[in-house]
Structure 1
């Protein structure tokens, strides 16, 4: 498989180095049971650029292969497959993003950019609420429902369009075929179970403890994933209640939006800040070093979104609502707008890679 000549390919050096290492791994085959990247790798004899990008997006950076490898430095082969695949993966997300280059900018300056966007957007929301007081109850007494919809609907649709365009290009480059239900089912099961973070034998991965196994990253990732889905379901249920049933916010503690949103916010906050803590313990040389700041910014932004949502719920009915609402909306809007350029994109491309892998296993 090869990339469309009309589009710019990832760094030639990055692809070439990953190909060199993948070919050595393909000859050795010691790590066959570690994760889905290795069966996909061992099924090929010649690796085009699309094959390398597909393998890179199957990799979950658990790092088990690195600590089991006999060809890492000081061996002359100097293998560091987790880093090589991470570099390709990050380059591919930037390549598929529109407009190109924003992903690389976020990866280099993610923390500063996220902080500036959250603060700037929060100040704009706060100024708007102070200058044009809204009429309504709860949050709508600070910012009207119409204003929220007018701002957040385009902010949600924009990244979805960018990601859809990127996924279409990715699917073409990796040779994707028409998708069937069985492919989606297998991919969803492996994604939902985080099967590729179990070390192949269920003992966990080597992300933050070197050659010792740990389940901490898997647990933190699961908490973040399910927390995010619960928060999204909370917002969706509130939208349906508003438009279909005529039930407007604020909602009570035992309402569906709160029953989904409160545990979702707790899981999202604990999981995201847990991932940030694990990232501080992990060896940066086994990942995409140029993207470290962007990856940290992403998990901190997720944690901030969950935390500010919980605090906003806790201070309901007090004078702190306007400031906390502005901060929370700033975090949410920043998360949406940066989705195609932050590590949030990995959820979409990795799922696509798992679907393509399911197709190849059935071929």
Structure 2
């Protein structure tokens, strides 16, 4: 398996060499925030490199605009160098240290673990629930809980997601402390900080740095397009809509005493349906682009992890939509077990897949805005 070494020799040195050339050249300064930030961090320490690598949204435009790209003797391929640095940074700040080996860039380890979690949970439900209940037709409030008790659902979700959020939070805290500039910005008052936070949030929500300086990412080759940014938006906002659906459903259950499932035109179902469709579109679009992209700007060592995560997110969305469509049939029980298994696998793997890039990227954007 391709578990990442957070201190692999040569990665930081090569990233530093290429950024030093970029700082001298300045040709790509208008493409994204990385180049301006690199000029402000002219020492390019290892933590500076981690900040810049996570600030990069991998639009890849700089490779095709670079006059020093391979086959020039300088061999500047900054998207690949930053991708390698970025993947190393996930391992460098990961918590607990004993699980750093789970950051398998090939995607084989996380993929096998996800499959094992889904299979184990599904088998547990099949063995624990009588066949008449598992394959029976259940309707009305509380139908799902006749197959998998509410306590089992909520305990599994809280324990797995709680640990994941704790691990990610500790990792981001380590990243934030390590990437603090040597000289702090002067005159950053409360109003200035609020404005910086606003800029960072806006950049995160719009994926501004994935615009390639305006015309879009180099999705497949040197020709810019906005497809990758749109597919990322579909996945990102679809995921947020699904979280909103879960939050609204939890409120109805605990505050109003109305257990799931809910009517088709209710807020949780409408939000979840829109979110699931958005995630499916985003995942399928990104997988399609992956098959057609130029491999030159990508990091071969971590490419598999990107694909594995996309497939897992697609499985979560697709099984959720299938459960919604067939919840009034005898297939509901088995579909519920498979869907809950995929959600549990996602929660378990959150801190050790590329899913953490959202948290690190948000921190990098805020750090840059504050400077």
Shared fold (TM-score, shorter chain, > 0.5): yes
Larger deviation: 311-320 or 172-181? 172-181
- Aligned partner (choices 191, 195, 212) of residue 208 of structure 2: 195
Q: How does 1:344-355 map to 2 (within 5 A)?
A: 344-355=355-366
1:302-321 aligned at under 5 Å gives the runs 302-321=313-332
What corresponds to 2:43 in structure 1? 46
Moved more, 37-46 or 317-326: 37-46
Higher mean displacement: 37-46 or 191-200: 37-46
Relative to the length of structure 2, the TM-score reads 0.90
Shift of 1:29: 0.5
Shift of 1:10: 3.3
Question: CA-to-partner distance for each residue in 1:87-114, whole Å, 9 max, x for gaps?
Answer: 0100111222223323433644233333
Equivalent in the alignment of 2:333: 322
Query: When the two structures are superposed, what TM-score results if normalisation uses the length of structure 1?
Result: 0.92
| TM-superposed deviation, 1:49 | 0.8
Give the alignment of 1:167-316 within 5 angstroms. 167-175=172-180, 180-201=193-214, 203-208=215-220, 210-316=221-327
Residue 185 of structure 1 aligns to a residue whose secondary structure is helix
SS at match of 1:77: coil
- Note the 1:20-31 alignment, pairs <5 A: 20-31=17-28
Distance 1:83 1:96 in 2: 20
Q: After TM superposition, give the deviation of residue 326 of structure 1 in Å.
A: 1.1
The residue that corresponds to 1:5 in the other structure is: none
> Distance in 2 between the 1:266 and 1:172 partners?
38
Query: Among 160, 164, 167, which residue is 1:159 paired with?
Result: 164
Would you say the 8 A contact 1:97–1:103 is kept in 2? no
How big is the shift at 1:274?
A: 1.1
Alpha-carbon contact 1:86-1:287 (below 8 Å) kept: yes
Runs of 4+, deviation exceeding 4 Å: 131-136, 176-179
Q: Which deviates further from its counterpart, 192-201 or 285-294?
A: 285-294
Taking the aligned partners of 1:47 and 1:294, their CA distance within structure 2 comes to: 27
Report Cα offsets for 1:245-283 as digits up to 9, x if no partner. 111112111211112111111001111121111112112
Q: Does 1:149 align with 2:146?
A: no
SS at match of 1:286: coil
Structure 1 residues 161 and 189, CA, compared in 2 at 3 Å: closer, same or farther?
same
Distance, in Å, in 2 between the alignment partners of 1:316 and 1:246 is 21
- In 1: Cα distance, 2:171 partner to 2:143 partner: 39
Q: Is the 8 A contact 2:6 2:91 kept in 1?
A: no
Equivalent residue for 2:14? Answer: 17
CA deviation profile, 1:17-39 (whole Å, cap 9, x unmatched): 10000001000010001111111
- Is there any run of 5+ residues in structure 2 with no aligned partner, and where? none
Aligned residues: 351
CA distance in 1, matches of 2:41, 2:49: 11
Structure-2 change in CA distance of 1:258 and 1:157 (3 Å): same
Unmatched runs of 5 consecutive residues or more in structure 1: 1-7
CA distance 1:324–1:9, shift in 2 (3 Å): closer
Root mean square deviation, CA, Å? 2.1
Instruction: Report the Cα distance in structure 1 between the residues aligned to 2:105 and 2:42, rounded to whole angstroms.
Output: 35
Q: Which residue of 2 aligns with 1:102?
A: 101
Q: Is the 8 A contact 2:142 2:259 kept in 1?
A: no
